[in-house]
Structure 1
Amino acid sequence: MRAADLEVYNVSWAPTKSAQPVLHPTTFRVAAGRVLGVVGPNGAGKSTLLRLLYRFQQPKTGYVRVGGQDIWSMPARNAARRIAAVLQEQASAFGLTVREIVRLGRTPHRSGFATSGAGDEQVVDRVLTTLSLRSLADRDFGTLSGGERQRVMVARALAQDPQVLILDEPTNHLDVRHQLEVVSLIQSLGLTIVVSLHDLNMASGVCDDVLILKNGQPQGFGPPQSLLTDTLVSDTFRVDARREHLASNGASHFSFTLPN
Structure 2
Amino acid sequence: MMAADLEVNGVSWAPTKSGQPVLHPTTFSVAAERVLGVVGPNGAGKSTLLRLLYRFQQPKTGHVRVDGQDIWSMSARDAARRIAAVLQEQASAFGLTVREIVRLGRTPHRSGFAASGAGDEKVVERVLDTLSLHPLAHRDFGTLSGGERQRVMVARALAQEPQVLILDEPTNHLDVRHQLEVVSLIRSLGLTIVVSLHDLNVAAGVCDDVLVLKDGHSQGFGPPQTLLTNALVSNTFRVDARREHLAPSGASHFSFTLPN
TM-score bracket relative to the smaller structure: over 0.9
Offset at residue 61 of structure 1 (A): 0.3
Residue 86 of structure 2 corresponds to 86
Give the Cα–Cα distance (whole angstroms) in 2 for the partners of residues 248 and 153 of structure 1. 37
> Which runs of structure 2 are paired with 1:226-245 in the superposition (5 Å)?
226-245=226-245
Partner SS, residue 177 of structure 2 = helix
Give the Cα–Cα distance (whole angstroms) in 2 for the partners of residues 23 and 185 of structure 1. 29
1:146 equivalent in alignment to 2:146: yes
Give the Cα–Cα distance (whole angstroms) in 2 for the partners of residues 218 and 96 of structure 1. 40
Q: Which amino acid aligns with 1:217?
A: H
Q: For residues 173-217 of structure 1, what are the alpha-carbon distances to aligned partners after superposition, in whole Å with 9 as ceiling and x for unaligned?
A: 000000000000001001000000000000000000000000000
Residue 250 of structure 1 corresponds to 250
Partner SS, residue 73 of structure 2 = coil
Q: Which amino acid aligns with 1:99?
A: R
Q: For residues 43-100 of structure 1, what are the alpha-carbon distances to aligned partners after superposition, in whole Å with 9 as ceiling and x for unaligned?
A: 0000000000000000000000001100000000000000000000000000000000
Partner SS, residue 72 of structure 2 = coil
1:172 equivalent in alignment to 2:172: yes
Residue 122 of structure 2 corresponds to 122
TM-score between both structures, scaled by the size of structure 2: 1.00
Partner SS, residue 190 of structure 2 = coil
Q: Which amino acid aligns with 1:29?
A: S
Q: For residues 116-135 of structure 1, what are the alpha-carbon distances to aligned partners after superposition, in whole Å with 9 as ceiling and x for unaligned?
A: 00000000000000000011
Residue 52 of structure 2 corresponds to 52
Residue 102 of structure 2 corresponds to 102
Offset at residue 247 of structure 1 (A): 2.0
Percent of residue pairs bearing the same amino acid type = 88
Q: Please list every run of at least 4 consecutive aligned residues from structure 1 whose deviation after the TM superposition is greater than 6 angstroms.
A: none
Residue 30 of structure 1 corresponds to 30
Number of aligned residue pairs: 260
Q: Which amino acid aligns with 1:147?
A: G
Residue 212 of structure 2 corresponds to 212
Partner SS, residue 184 of structure 1 = helix
Residue 136 of structure 2 corresponds to 136
Residue 13 of structure 2 corresponds to 13
Give the Cα–Cα distance (whole angstroms) in 2 for the partners of residues 247 and 170 of structure 1. 29
Offset at residue 164 of structure 1 (A): 0.2
Residue 200 of structure 2 corresponds to 200
Partner SS, residue 165 of structure 2 = strand
Give the Cα–Cα distance (whole angstroms) in 1 for the partners of residues 10 and 131 of structure 2. 36
Q: Which amino acid aligns with 1:106?
A: R
Partner SS, residue 242 of structure 1 = strand
Structure 2 gap segments, 5+ residues each: none
- Aligned CA RMSD, in angstroms, stands at 0.3
Give the Cα–Cα distance (whole angstroms) in 2 for the partners of residues 89 and 145 of structure 1. 15
Q: Which amino acid aligns with 2:232?
A: L
Structure 1 gap segments, 5+ residues each: none
